[in-house]
Structure 1
């Protein structure tokens, strides 16, 4: 946190983002999640710079990720007057997040298979 050099997303990270979107994550949530896969605690401003997103986009995506309980928020009290700075980090290990995504895909697939079976039953009547 607080580094003057903030690297851009790499080609590999962009590929991971693309894959996360294909499995059902929203684009901005995927971008931010991949930034957190680096293992850092970051402020909203740092996330904006690395993920190349605007503040409102970061805010909406962070809200979605915290609802899934994948990201936690902590307040960092500074010596300056004013609001505390919010610091964000992963709440779950990367593998746990990927397992949750996998389970959601499997569950969705099972539901689709049930619907197809029901369609067959209806058509055969």
Structure 2
């Protein structure tokens, strides 16, 4: 029997994924961020089911989020005591703060590009 799909990602979630990818955030990381924004506390299995990502992809995508201290991760033993414990993930910073992080990164990159263009203009005028 097939497990029913979870509907964590709605229109807003898919839009978050698209916009983050447009900012060069890796696809799997974008999907995990969107899932956590649209859901509350989710297991890695919840994220897998709603997104189509595989378990290793979810784990790898969560690493930079954990390193940035954006998420809380906790393990909980399954009732059967067999297999690995369930991993639960939850955003612990407001989504607005995450957006501001990407905004400042993009603005810094744009300033670097403008500076490089100005230097190129200067070189073309002197040439």
User: Is the shorter-chain TM-score for this pair beyond 0.5, marking a shared fold?
Assistant: yes
- Structure 2 residue ranges without an equivalent (≥5): none
Q: 1:81 to 1:8 in 2, by over 3 A?
A: closer
Q: Which residue of 2 aligns with 1:91?
A: 92
Which residues in structure 2 correspond to 1:39-118 (within 5 Å)?
39-77=39-77, 80-81=80-81, 83-118=84-119
Mean Cα displacement is larger for which, 87-96 or 63-72? 63-72
Quick one: structure 1 residues 79 and 55, their matched pair in 2 at CA, closer, same or farther if it must change by over 3 Å? closer
How many aligned positions are there? 122
Is this contact kept in 1: 2:13–2:37, CA < 8 A?
no
Describe the SS at the equivalent of 2:93.
coil
1:121 paired with 2:122, answer: yes
- Which deviates more from structure 2 when the two are superposed, residues 70-79 or residues 30-39? 70-79
Three-state SS of the structure 2 residue aligned to 1:74 is: strand
In the alignment, structure 1 segments of 5+ residues that lack a partner are none
Q: Is the 8 A contact 2:44 2:88 kept in 1?
A: yes
What's the TM-score, normalizing by structure 1? 0.83
Q: Report the CA distance between 1:112 and its aligned residue.
A: 0.8
Deviation string, structure 1 residues 94-118 (Cα, Å, up to 9, x no partner): 1100111111111111111111111
CA RMSD, aligned part only?
2.1
SS in 2 for 1:112: helix
- Counterpart for residue 37 of structure 1: 37
SS at match of 1:89: strand
* TM score, norm. by length of structure 2: 0.82
- Cα separation, partners in 2 of 1:92 and 1:118, compared to 1, 3 Å: same
